[in-house]
Structure 1
């Protein structure tokens, strides 16, 4: 349903799912103390600690646009849904809307690839970007999420659009043992039948002498997803009928007051086990994809398993006041995709990406000057990583051969505070990448009639070597709270989804394939304004690259082909937060994005719009948080996705893949919590409160009948949490 115009306008003025300091950006506190938190003043928003950079800094000392989703904001969102892709889309301006599936296809950041990390461990693989990396961990074990927007050399390879770092929880208890038990029930309010699901979570934490620990386990099973009319949402990649498990442990040892050792492990699995087979939608008639009872082909889709192991050693006050952070990590994941019926020689095929990373990082931070008027630091070190990625079919056939990457990157970054108000930052990073690919043979692709669309080709392997020197610089002036401007220039680097190019090879030697890396230049200009209880931020940006990686649909072969052309992307984001009363806060955000490619390669004629897979439609977010009495908290969230129509219909009278017209839709969510006793909290979440009947943006621009699924209708999430 469509909102009345007066309600829509009111909600646009309301608040803050996506402030640059994020969702009211309150400091992280214990979950059991949620209703005891005092409101945060606008000035305190800038004091939030950002840890996605090479060293922790306060938000007001960052000369670029950053979003910090705090533990409080995460908890409020989890009253409605535990889908991290949906949470991020509500909270982060510049991030494309979610699709309510286990895939984040098209959910880029400012039109480019985003690097997903857990405590700095890369979850994304630029070698074969399967776009399933956002759902890498359960949000229940996160303390906060840092989002750095725009190309960044901070962590290097793969961060051409920015990075999202999931910061895992740390122990808050000073006792030997404390904990929290959470039980939730979910379901559809448009059709309860078979839609009911449940979730159980248990967390324990504590300290004993020099040791501290936190352990957590979560199990969740969703029921069928139903749309606004009570019909089954198309099961292709749907999060309906999905089993999710997360096991997390973190153990720390305080060697002495200057040295600490910490070990973290997280396991995440999320697979759909549906009782339905897909019934394709009819895009021309507006008929959505759905399902009929039956056993789906292939194995369950989703994350079969994602393992992260992380060891960190920290030492402070070394020679000259230098601090050291040294860490080693191991990551292994297996993600299963849907069955492609009749696409491969011999019939159907179902692929999965196998990714294994091992890495070490060494970073020193040294003070250069401690004077009040001239305070400066230097961070320097190196990242070393080995990433082995492939995309075979589950029956053993090789679609994308194994790619073995060794990445070595020394870096240095300095930050200065001059006269307390002038912030200067500059850095350099040198990427040295070598990718080894053995000889392989591409798979012959066929159409529904068995005719060859792409022949099988033997390709001679070899080594692909890359070297890139990346720079970043920024300046910010904080003297006047009413106008605190900043400017930044940053470069990003990615090996540009080599696997996608290799599997579509049309030549017999890897050296003849255009596997050149993507180098992005990002320019950003913005300001923050604070007056009284109001905080406002506006930023504009331009992102350019001599070569991009875009997926263009060929209506003749019905295949997606990779194009490498110059690109320019630009846009702006605005956000505000207003603390109306001590118990009432409002805010709002708006983000706009546009991009074009220079298909003629003339060096200045950007003549073709980038498609929906890259450029999201304008997005509005809003929320209101109100605490009428001490133990009761109520919140409303608004997400408005505007329309986008940049392309003409093809010769068949329909839009080509990734170029579909997006019609606007508006969603409102409700969350509430009530503390019935000092240790017992009841929660309620209502998703799509006004039962909007809509297709998510990806369903519209993707133009694939199997993915032309509607969004969820009104759904509920009720829970109880007991702390002890």
Structure 2
């Protein structure tokens, strides 16, 4: 009977991403780790991929320092861009390309009109670990051209009865300014009885104003959105039922909302003199920037269905990203038929809704147990639009996207698993549907004929893994990734008559490939990895600043880089030293002659970086000191005013566990470094409103308790 239920639900679900069932590991983890984002029950050392896992303890440390998952990833991963310390993550990349953010495999990104809010869709209090897969691949479908950042939520209670944990913390700038004080409370309660379990939780966070290293308020980006001067709250629920020893149902729901308070207006800085923008009390126009995301998923997993591992999931995800009003009227929004030129105020809102499902079945091939096979099918339906909410105009027309993708993977173990051959393919069948629409007046009020172009492509991956002795492995791999360009930026910017969406090539998909050579060592006190990669996309995308907003240009893009990570457990009990380094080079074809001729600028690629850290864990004490060195950089073919000068930041955190819970003290920017953020240094060389400093020394005192 139970088998019939499994088969029935598989047919109804049509799908899915593996749920949390991996062992915990550190950021330089090796060994037999099962990572759900890989869509395989095989351990990570059996796959030709660069994979890292940020475990619960490491994530909690970073969240205490900076407050978000995306900041944790940006701090720990050398090839990830420095964060903007804003609500928007525009320009933040992994290996020079946009990563796919996911929660339990559910995509949070909105590639059809990238609002860049996908790093703020769940509170880190509900995240058990973060799985990172580097480089282009199609494991999770659309969006993974730079890699995958999969946030795995807290698991089910392990024992019968009631369990839970609570968190309370306060944050202040170095001067303990009244308006710089913030705080957070969070709680999670689990209950398990027999086959049934439930976990529910809620968080609330109030963030104050941010101050730089010279004690000045940091300027507010009222348009793209702020994490400073904001309130956020999140609700989480997980309800599970164990059908038998191997099969389980899980219903998981999450709602996250972050809204700016709108208490400040920007005070222009001066790029010429190096004075950053600041903020003063005031009433910005329009509605404050807001990010709201809701998701629900139902999964069925069975680790022994006909001798194999079956995973299925159906999900619904909805997001609404409201962008604030610019303090100066944006040229793109002007329409003389509504108001005199240069006076019209407006602001935009992205609305996206996804419905999808995933299915995979993995087992060894009967009679040939050295060969493991995975068969699967993914489906995604996404509807996205962008409206100007002050005047009720359509900026990006409603766009329907449909993706259907069967896939298969093989993994062959030879010579007692010392050699593995892995490979597979995924066939993407996509369709984009756009109705007839008219562009804004600033683009010429052009009538555009809608259409429903279809695209299909078969994406390949393959690799060889050699592990001559336990703990030492080398691999070479090739993998293709797939995403859509920012269709919204393209369709809204049509500037000529006679365009028909059915044959408008600029909305064709981006297919990127990633070639990689890597070596990893996990022996004794040493965890180390080095990898060299290069990726290309014949028709990629590059963000170009036009008329006060960024638009998309489709160009050939080539990226290559080197990554190195080393962690050593020292003879001192509990002390680990680590370092990481990333070197990236990105080039684009600006004149469309088939050859790259200019550097990718800072809006599209991150600087080279060196990470240094010392971590200590002994008895009731854990502590960490970490430094990130961002090296200076020039960009050939770009305005020299956008060159990056580099900077160095250091953070620290310490936690002591008592019978009454854990007490922690964390410091961001320990030496109170005054600096201009990477994003502000490398973009908009004449914009004094968005010339932002980074946060100065910031203190966070926290208390957490588990039972």
Question: Quick check: TM above 0.5?
Answer: yes
Is 2:347 the counterpart of 1:350?
yes
Deviation at 1:249, TM superposition (A): 0.7
Q: 2:682 aligns with which of 701, 705, 718?
A: 701
User: Given that residues 191 and 230 in structure 1 are in contact (C-alpha distance below 8 angstroms), is that contact kept between their aligned partners in structure 2?
Assistant: no
Task: Trace 1:557-568 onto structure 2 (pairs within 5 A).
Answer: 557=547, 560-568=550-558
- Give the aligned partner of residue 652 of structure 2: 670
Taking a change above 3 Å as real, the CA distance of residues 641 and 167 of structure 1, as seen in their structure-2 partners, is same
Could you give the per-residue CA deviations for residues 655-714 of structure 1, whole angstroms, max 9, x where no partner exists? 3xxxx111111111111111122x411111011100000011111112243321101110
Aligned match of 1:721: 704
Note if 1:608 corresponds to 2:598.
yes
Aligned ranges for residues 432-511 of structure 1 at < 5 Å?
A: 432-445=429-442, 454-480=443-469, 483-507=472-496, 508-509=498-499, 510-511=501-502
C-alpha distance in 1 between matches for 2:57 and 2:296: 26
Distance of aligned partners of 1:181 and 1:649 in 2 relative to their CA distance in 1, 3 Å threshold: closer
Secondary structure of the residue aligned to 1:93 is coil
Aligned to 1:409: 405
List gaps (5 residues or longer) in structure 1. Answer: 1-25, 30-39, 446-453
Q: Does 1:76 align with 2:65?
A: no
Contact 2:352/2:383 (8 A) holds in 1: yes
Structure 1 residue 512, shift from structure 2 partner: 5.1
Is contact 1:481-1:529 (8 Å) kept? no
How far the C-alpha of 1:619 sits from its partner, in A, is 1.4
Q: Distance in 1 between matches of 2:637 and 2:311?
A: 53
Partner of 1:317: 304
Cα distance in 2 for partners of 1:93, 1:87 equals 11
| RCO comparison, higher one (Cα < 8 Å, 6+) | 1
Counterparts of 1:48 and 1:349 in 2: how far apart (Å)?
Answer: 50
Equivalent in 182, 199, 209 of residue 167 of structure 2: 182
Q: Is the 8 A contact 1:528 1:536 kept in 2?
A: yes
The residue number in structure 1 matching 2:190 is 205
CA distance in 2, matches of 1:146, 1:524: 19
Residue of structure 2 equivalent to 1:9: none
Contact 2:632 2:645 in 1 (8 A): yes
**Which residue of the partner structure matches residue 619 of structure 1?**
609
Conservation of the 8 A alpha-carbon contact between 2:30 and 2:522 = no
Q: CA deviation at 1:558?
A: 5.2
**Paired residue secondary structure (2:615):** strand
Deviation at 1:46, TM superposition (A): 2.1
For residues 93 and 415 of structure 1, the distance between their equivalents in structure 2, rounded to whole angstroms, comes to 30
Q: Secondary structure at the match of 1:546?
A: strand
1:166-219 Cα deviation digits (max 9, x unpaired) = 101102441310111211011101352311111001111131010122211100
Structure 2 residue 378 is matched with structure 1 residue 380: no
Aligned twin of 1:146: 131
Map 1:507-656; keep pairs closer than 5 Å: 507=496, 508-509=498-499, 510-511=501-502, 513=504, 514-554=506-546, 557=547, 560-581=550-571, 582-603=573-594, 605-627=595-617, 630-647=619-636, 655=641
> Where in structure 2 are there 5+ consecutive unaligned residues?
1-21
Deviations 1:561-592 (A, max 9, x none): 42212111101100011000331111110011
Q: CA deviation at 1:648?
A: 6.2
The reply to whether residue 253 of structure 1 matches residue 241 of structure 2 is yes
Q: Give the secondary-structure state (helix, strand or coil) at the position aligned to 1:287.
A: coil
Kept in 2: contact 1:518–1:545 (CA 8 A): yes
Secondary structure of the structure 2 residue equivalent to 1:52: helix
Q: Distance in 2 between matches of 1:81 and 1:97?
A: 12
Asked whether the equivalents of residues 51 and 57 of structure 1 are also in contact (C-alpha less than 8 Å), the reply is: no
Moved over 6 A (4+): none
Q: Does the C-alpha gap of structure 1 residues 630 and 370 become closer, same or farther in structure 2, counting only changes over 3 Å?
A: farther
Shift in Å, 1:488: 0.6
Q: How far apart, CA to CA, are the structure 2 residues paired with 1:718 and 1:27?
A: 29
User: Does the residue aligned with 1:28 lie in a helix, a strand or coil?
Assistant: coil
Give yes or no for contact 2:541–2:557 (8 Å, CA) kept in 1.
no
Distance (whole Å) between structure 1 residues aligned to residue 287 and residue 691 of structure 2: 22
- Say whether 1:267 aligns with 2:252: no
Distance 2:145 2:27 in 1: 33
Q: How many positions carry a matched residue from both structures?
A: 664
* Secondary structure in structure 2 of the residue aligned to 1:67: strand
What does 1:381-400 align with in structure 2 at a 5 Å threshold?
381-395=376-390, 396-400=392-396
Deviation string, structure 1 residues 239-296 (Cα, Å, up to 9, x no partner): 2111011111101100111321110000001111131112232222212111221111
Contact 2:644/2:681 (<8 A) preserved = yes
Residue 481 of structure 1, CA deviation: 5.2
Alignment pair present for 1:137 and 2:122: yes
2:353 and 2:387 mapped to 1: Cα distance?
A: 14
Contact 1:622 1:638 in 2 (8 A): yes
Question: What is the rounded CA distance, in whole Å, between the counterparts of 1:283 and 1:401 in structure 2?
Answer: 36
CA deviation digits over 1:432-464, x for unaligned, max 9? 11111011111123xxxxxxxx32211111112
Are positions 1:308 and 2:295 aligned together?
yes
Which shifted more, 310-319 or 496-505? 310-319
**Following the alignment from structure 1 to structure 2, what is the Cα–Cα distance between the partners of residues 622 and 482?**
23
> Which SS does the other structure have where 2:74 is aligned?
helix
Distance (whole Å) between structure 2 residues aligned to residue 540 and residue 312 of structure 1: 37
- Aligned-partner Cα distance in 2 for 1:255–1:111: 44
Q: What's the secondary structure of 1:692's corresponding residue?
A: coil
Q: TM-score, normalization: structure 2?
A: 0.91
Mapping of 1:186-197 within 5 angstroms? 186-197=171-182
